[in-house]
Structure 1
Amino acid sequence: MEFRIVHEGSVKLKVPVHEKLERAMPVFYNVDKADDRSLSVALLRCYREMVGRDLVACDLLSATGVRGLRLACEVPGLRKVVINDVSPRAFMLMRENVRMNEGCLRCEVETRNEEANRLLWTVGRRFDYLDVDPFGSPTPFLDAAARSVRPGGILAVTSTDTACLCAVYPKTCFRKYGSVVFKTEYRKEVGVRILAKKVIEVGAQHCLALEPVFAYVMGGSFRVYFLVAKGARRADEVLGSIGFILHCERCLFRRTAHLGESPEGRCQRCQSRLRLIGPLFIGRLCRAELGEMMLSAATGRIRSLIKLIVDENAVGTPWYYTVSALSSRLKAPTPRMDSLIDALRQRGYSAVRTHYDWAGIKTNAPIEEVEGAFGAAG
């Protein structure tokens, strides 16, 4: 295996040279996730400022050690960062990268070479921040992960199982995540919300409330950060934001339904059959206070992404519209995005771009008003 030296954030790393990422690789480094790791640094800095105490963090599936090392070098107020990988080759590379960055470490870094679940069961509830970033689905790690974060801590979960969550493989989605899904123009957000639902359910089984506080899509991965709290009542409150989306493929009408409702089978607009998506998390995916803190501290490209996430969270709907879907439905030319947003705002509705799709618009306007604004903007 060939290696090269790279710089990311404040760290210097020895990483393998490869043309593409594959599951069978003993260790890999994904340069395209540098911004994702920068967001981890930004969020943990803000969280540390909010809680005002020293923290213990863990990068559970660390590969080269890059995420854990960036936390250890760039986040003040950490007491220890544990970086772990089951691969012996990854473990040796992690140790080498730790030695290479000894001069910039702000805290102790502990390297481990264990199967992820075994490590979590061994250490118990000791982490203030736990990062689960696997190649594929995180579901094999969720039970142990949820129980390894101290109350008041943060659990970060990534899925690169995006084809499954975006309805390319709906049967697989139902098997892994327990949700029914089909292709819509807002399927990326649906995928993030199904992932959030699955993590919340696993935590609730142990009377843990896992509240989503920041979530996004970046490249080929979905990522959600959860604030962990203890108690059946608090878990029930978070479960109260799990429900369904009822979607009309003919006229683009959609609405939410909470668990326990008996949703109607026909679209109230065109009387076509409504299709059910879910269960999924239908509440807000970003805690406003944390988002604003991250926004005030961030710079460069990640600041633009945080701004989009904060703005679209304020709208509150668990879907978005794309101009291509609207154009196809109305058989009309596509207007400029800014003109459509302005037209919706002039009608008294919230409307912003969404980070899920650059041709998508988040709005709380009903579909009739969206179509009216579409015509006015054209």
Structure 2
Amino acid sequence: MIVNEGSAEIIVPEVYHGPGKRGTGFYNADQKINRDITIEFIKRMGVHTVLDGFGGTGIRGIRISKETGSSVTIAEVSRESYRLIMQNVERNGSQATVVNDSFECVLQHGVFEYVDIDPYGSPAPYLDAALLGVKRNGYLGITATDQSALTGSVPHKTRVRYEAVINNDTFRHEMGVRLLIGYVARRAASLGRWIEPMMSIWHGHYYRVFVRVMKGFEGAGRMMRNMGYVNKHTLLWDMYPDMDEGPVWKGNIQDDAVAKDVLGSAGHMNFNSEENRLLFCDMTDIARIRHTSLPPVETVLQSLVSYGHAASRTMFSPTGIKTDASCTTLEGIMMDALRRRSPA
């Protein structure tokens, strides 16, 4: 089967949607947005040397090579997939180098300003090698599809894999992203490294984060001040359970200037500076607890802004609002909007 994506035309055994499964030449069509954003990130950061650590069909590395001009190495441990990648590299006239070896081994024999980690499932087993192997002040692009662990929907996986407790509720996707960043930060600190989140995305079945990696225990100590536990009962609203969740990353999840440029160029998602705010108020939760219907989200947003509050939608919930107003204030605005809408 022939697939066209970006500047590349590749041969794939089969096209998958969703999390997919391990197989020769795995190609996931739903990851196109991920790859588009990655390419714009590499261009924005001026990266010259790239490792695509999990080649599959070679689509990511081939596109990066052709569309950014960076020097790209594609690692693929499967012999069958390696042969397919070689065929696709030649088909596209790409200058990418393809190595039939593991991600970890390839890292030891090259110097890369950007390392892409897009495995099947959790990136956790590969983080130490990437943090140690990437060039100082370089970048990691990390994809995680193990949402059952990161969102707390399978609690024992969350505890065993990420050494954390997360409540599987309305906030699970933001908490999942913050758990992922926090786990990368903790692994970095243990290795004398520290990270700075550049971008964070939730899209369907995966999370994608980009971080800058720097060296030094002093910086690691400063970084760890962003780690901690979240209690939604005290942070947001007393209707939520009184429990501590984490440890998670409580600091910024994006560099606004970078995210604005990259998302604007990629064209798939809107930039939102309010995403750095820790959690949000969710109108669906408020309506459920108050046993009311939902007023239009835009009406509530406009009212918040008219009262002088910062307010915007969030990628983490269709009825969530990132705001500096309290959830109690938001509740009052919702009730006012419903009263105005009701017939006299």
Please state whether the residue corresponding to 1:182 is helix, strand or coil: coil
Q: Deviations over 1:228-256 (max 9, x none)?
A: 111111111211111111023xxxx535x
8 Å CA contact 1:91, 1:113 repeated in 2: yes
Distance 1:135 1:273, change over 3 A: closer
In the TM superposition, 1:85-124 aligns within 5 A as 85-102=76-93, 105=94, 108-120=95-107, 122-123=108-109
Correspondent of 2:64 among 71, 84, 90: 71
User: Which whole-Å deviations, capped at 9, do the CAs of 1:39-96 have from their partners, x for residues lacking one?
Assistant: 0011111101xxxxx61101101100111111111114x2x10111111111011101
Deviation at 1:19, TM superposition (A): 6.0
1:84 pairs with 2:50? no
Distance change >3 Å, CA 19–CA 59, structure 1 → 2: closer
CA contact (8 A) 2:312 2:322 kept: yes
Q: 1:28 aligns with which of 26, 29, 32?
A: 26
Partner of 2:228: 243
Normalized against structure 1, the TM-score is what? 0.85
Query: 1:359, CA displacement in angstroms?
Result: 2.5
> Which residue of structure 2 aligns with residue 291 of structure 1?
259
2:216 aligns with 231
Q: Which amino acid aligns with 1:83?
A: I
Aligned to 1:51: none
What displacement does 1:344 show? 1.6
Instruction: Identify unmatched segments of 5+ residues in structure 2.
Output: 339-344
State the alpha-carbon separation in 2 of the partners of residues 312 and 36 from structure 1: 21
Q: Paired residue for 1:40?
A: 38
The aligned runs of 1:246-257 (5 Å cut-off) are 246-248=231-233, 254=235
Letter in 2 for 1:356: F
- CA distance in 2 between partners of 1:339 and 1:239 (Å): 39
Flag the 1:373–1:216 CA change in 2: closer, same or farther, 3 A: same
2:4 matched residue in structure 1: 7
Q: Does the C-alpha gap of structure 1 residues 203 and 191 become closer, same or farther in structure 2, counting only changes over 3 Å? A: same
**Which amino acid in 2 is paired with 1:376?**
D
Query: What are structure 1's unaligned runs of at least 5 residues?
Result: 49-53, 256-266
Does structure 2 retain, via aligned residues, the 8 Å contact 1:155–1:228?
yes
Whether the 8 Å CA contact 1:294–1:306 is kept in 2: the answer is no
Write the distance in 2 (CA, Å) between the matches of 1:30 and 1:83.
Answer: 17
- The amino acid across from 1:245 in the alignment is V
State the match for 2:156 in structure 1.
171
Amino acid at match of 1:29: Y
Distance 1:295 1:224 in 2: 13
Secondary structure at the counterpart of residue 210 of structure 1:
strand
Q: Secondary structure at the match of 1:240?
A: helix
Q: Alignment RMSD, CA only? A: 1.9
In structure 2, relative to structure 1, the CA distance for the partners of 1:322 and 1:146 (3 Å cut) is same
For 2:188 and 2:159, locate their aligned partners in 1 and report how far apart those are by CA, in whole Å: 19
1:153 corresponds to: 138
Partners of 1:110 and 1:306 in 2: CA distance: 34
> Structure 2 counterpart of 1:311, which letter?
S
Query: Residues 288 and 24 from structure 1, CA distance in 2 versus in 1: closer, same or farther, beyond 3 angstroms?
Result: closer
Aligned amino acid, residue 6 of structure 2 = G
Deviations 1:129-148 (A, max 9, x none): 00000111111101101111
Which of 320, 329, 333 lines up with 2:293 in the alignment? 333
- State the 1:311 CA deviation: 3.0
2:180 corresponds in structure 1 to 195
Deviation at 1:306, TM superposition (A): 3.9
- 2-structure distance, mates of 1:273, 1:215: 27
Task: Measure, in 2, the Cα distance between the counterparts of 1:62 and 1:360.
Answer: 36
Which of 13-22 and 349-358 deviates more?
A: 13-22
Quote how far apart the aligned CAs of 1:18 are. Answer: 5.0
2:283 equivalent in structure 1: 323
Distance 1:19-1:198 versus aligned 2 partners, 3 A rule? closer
Residues matched between the structures, number: 337
1:353 paired to 2:313: yes
Distance in 2 between residues matched to 1:114 and 1:357, nearest whole Å: 40
The alpha-carbon deviation at position 16 of structure 1 amounts to: 1.3
CA distance in 2: counterparts of 1:373 and 1:146, whole angstroms: 46
Deviating runs (4+, > 6 A) in structure 1? none
Q: Distance in 2 between matches of 1:299 and 1:229?
A: 27
Q: Distance in 1 between matches of 2:16 and 2:61?
A: 24
| Other structure's SS at 2:251 match | coil
